[in-house]
A and B are shown apart, each in its own frame.
Chain A
Amino acid sequence: MDAVYNRPFLQAGKMPVSLGGYLETNSSYFQTDGVTDGLSFQIPRLTVFMASTIKDRIHFLTEIEFEEGGREIAIEFASMDLAIHPLLNLRGGVVMNPIGAFNQNHDGPKWEFVSRPIASTTIIPATWSNVGFGIYGKYGFGNFVWAYEGYITNGFDDQIISNDQNKTWLPASKLNPDRFEESFNGVPLITAKTAFRHRKAGELGVSWMGGVYNKFEIDGLPIDARRRIDLFAVDFNSVIPRVKTQIKGEWVWAFIDVPDTYTQQYGEKQQGGYVDVVQPILTRKMFGWEKCTLNLAFRFEYVDYNVGTFNETGGTISDHIYAFVPGISFRPSAQTVIRANYQYQLQTDLLGNPPARTAGFQFGFATYF
């Protein structure tokens, strides 16, 4: 809820035009079954925000991301918002589809872990933004706030079941260079989310995103059936009072209509999610900075890229990952995080052979500026 505008550079007084952004940088050392690529350093992303208020209740915000050292430049978000009423705002441009919570809340400095959650980036292909239009709004009553968002945008393409991952891979659609120019098949992707927030209990969101991903006709001639993709997600976040333990997570289910006569390598169902638990253990002045926090953090995550059974044997199709990520993070300010994680991951192939074991250390920081 409010993720897009809930950013520190957007403070009163900075209007009408403001500039900000965030930087993430880290080092990592991973090893899979005794084989390592050694130590490497990355800046996964540098993101620049620009915003302005054009007129009372007409806002513009853009988020431009330089990924992997500038090799990829992406407009993650660029929209004009027109506030008609708190219950009704219009938005158009490049929008982040509100599926799950991570997609809109992906800013590095908001997280205590160097890596992004696997399900949120490989089932939900965060950051997943598209050109389109929509409406959103919210309504408060007592301790509750209810919010909704709904968009129609361009959507997926058939690379989701034809890609070099050899599995149903929603992020593959992001490789389509034309996706900001035209819809792959002329059928819009619909995304809708609703969320409730209780001032004390936390927030719960339910979302759906669905459309047709394949090209089913060319020049009016049918070449295939219309094949749907639908994602459902549940997300929540909460802070346990007094002990201040933060708990958040999301779970996503994806249903993809894959032709029966294609290969089962590409799954028709996927699911996965994560739970993060962050426990502040020290909050005080440290190294001369006021109000610093030291946190212990733990993430559990799971993804199953191919939920189903083999036609040939009736046996379960595996193709899944479990990961455990304990970490420690230090926040000299709410906007800056220095974090160190250990990650242990078990990845099982399609057939269910003994898993590949990967583990490693990551150290890095992320900060808004």
Chain B
Amino acid sequence: MIKNKKLCLFLLGFAAIIFVACEKLLPGAPAQNELLDGPVEGLTSEENSKFLAGDVAFNDAIFTVENGLGPYFVATSCGSCHAGDGKGHPFTTLTRFGQSDTTGNQFLNLGGPQLQNRAIPGYQPEQIPAGATSAKFTPPANTGLGFLAALTDAQILANADPNDLNGDGISGVPNYISAPFFFVPQSFHQPLNGKYIGRFGKKAAAIDLLHQTVNAYNQDMGITSEFAPAEPGVNGVPAYPLANPEVAVNTVLDVVFYLRTLKAPIQRDPTNENVLAGKQLFTDLKCASCHTSEWTTGPSDISALSYKTFYPYTDLLLHDMGAGLDDGYTEGIALTSEWRTPPLWGLGLAKNSQGGTYYLMHDGRATSIEDAILLHGGEALQSKILYEALSDTDKQNLIQFLESL
């Protein structure tokens, strides 16, 4: 019995140690500012549930042959391309084709605009039709989009300077897009000749997040919905309608809600001396003329998005980026050399969703922040030249600032 008492004490002691050590032995949460996913602060519990439903549909819903994938597609879930809501990888970089003038894509009947470069077994993927031009698009991060979506057209137009009246060499124009049938204009939209300002996508070709999401289901995964009831066309076969949508309206709306309520990236180390020096250089080099740092939303149906100041570093406008970035492909009224200024928030965390390497600019051709800056041309040429003239320390400070975003 004595021996058993010792044994009991040993076992109880062991259990106690485990219990106490528990906390230490369980992996804690990474700091909030190290993560891109997660909801904006201040959602109601009802909004949290909707966010979670969208989260599941975005990250966990995998499309397979059984539930509608393809037959032609690029990837099998939203989360495959936007891992952790961050930027994507060349593996999920997609190709769009069309032509170089802005008369509207003439290849829609030949499977355009998007190349479905993968196919389910037994099918051959799409090929770019003869005569089409094309561009590659690396998936961007999806963070903080609700704030950008909550801005008014008037706010965006305030920065546009199509004729460069202020003479800074930077114009900035909105893209105007023909709205799809399901688009519901808000009070803040200001159409021009029946077209609406595009905000999302590399060439700002999507007017709102529903527009972007519907196209993503349809063009990226071959998933039809009531909003886009046709399977994308391929290889000269035009799109054809399906009787039953492959994703429910509710699911699409949950995903849109999820995108609207994903938090904005939180800057790391904002008071670091080098970061502050870099921030000053960012203004001095006129980077901020396109990468507009600060915005404030007006009223929103989601109170967590109402009257909020946020720091995306984009003006949501198109800029001519010069011949180097001219892929000969257009969307809406964007010229082939024009790209929408991408938000720079979350830039320092990009590697954590891109497999450890940066893939920056619209097609991921820049594998470092410096490469990205050196690819700036056109309206941004002056900024690039100013950057090249910086001392090594100043260059490092600027990059450290960008990495802190």
Contacts and interface: CB of A to CB of B under 8 A. Distances in A.
B66 A162 contact: yes
A351 B354 contact: yes
B243 interface: no
A357 B121 contact: no
Interface stretch (A80-88, A178-186, A261-269): A261-269
Contacts of B62: 163-166
Contact of B30 (A34, A159, A311, A350): A34
Interface in A19-54: 31-36
B89 interface: yes
A353 B356 contact: yes
A74 to B, nearest CB: 22
A275 interface: no
B42 interface: no
Nearest to A316: B355
A48 to B, nearest CB: 32
A318 B76 CA distance: 18
A361 interface: yes
Contacts of A328: 14
A210 B119 CA distance: 25
Interface string B1-23: 00110010000001000100010
Interface of A: 31-36, 158-159, 161-166, 214, 223-224, 227, 259, 261-265, 286-288, 310-313, 315, 318, 328, 340, 342, 344, 349-354, 357-361
The winner among B76, B80, B89, B355 for most chain A CB atoms within 10 A is B355
A265 B81 CA distance: 11
Contacts of B280: none
B124 interface: yes
Contact of A31 (B3, B27, B76, B357): B27
Contacts of A263: 73, 75-76, 118
A310 B91 contact: yes
Contact of A361 (B22, B121, B122, B354): B22
Contacts, number: 110
Contacts of A31: 26-27
The winner among A36, A162, A312 for most chain B CB atoms within 10 A is A162
Nearest to B64: A162
A325 to B, nearest CB: 13
A162 B68 CA distance: 11
B90 A353 contact: no
Nearest to A164: B62
A262 to B, nearest CB: 6
Given A223-B122, A265-B80, A351 B26 contact: no
23 contacts: A33-B28, A34-B30, A36-B26, A159-B64, A162-B69, A164-B62, A259-B122, A261-B119, A262-B118, A263-B118, A265-B76, A286-B4, A288-B4, A310-B91, A312-B89, A313-B89, A328-B14, A342-B18, A351-B83, A351-B91, A352-B355, A353-B354, A359-B27
B300 interface: no
B303 to A, nearest CB: 26
Given A35-B29, A328-B14, A349 B83 contact: yes
A351 B119 contact: no
A275 B342 CA distance: 49
Interface in B88-143: 89-91, 93, 118-125
Contacts of A227: 121
Given A34-B27, A166-B62, A312-B93, A352 B75 contact: no
Given A265-B76, A312-B90, A353 B84 contact: yes
A166 B76 contact: yes
Given A33-B30, A312-B93, A342-B18, A287 B119 contact: no
A287 B4 contact: yes
B26 A261 contact: no
A352 B125 contact: no
The winner among A31, A159, A357 for most chain B CB atoms within 10 A is A31
A32 B76 contact: no
B352 interface: yes
B125 A261 contact: yes
A14 B354 CA distance: 62
B75 A310 contact: no
Contacts of B69: 162
Interface string B33-62: 000000000000000000000000000101
A259 B390 CA distance: 50
Nearest to A162: B64
Given A161-B121, A353-B83, A32 B90 contact: no
Contacts of A261: 118-119, 123-125
Contacts of A164: 60, 62, 64
B19 to A, nearest CB: 9
Given A36-B26, A158-B65, 16 more contacts: A35-B29, A159-B64, A162-B65, A162-B120, A163-B64, A259-B121, A261-B119, A261-B124, A262-B119, A263-B75, A286-B4, A286-B7, A288-B4, A352-B355, A353-B356, A357-B27
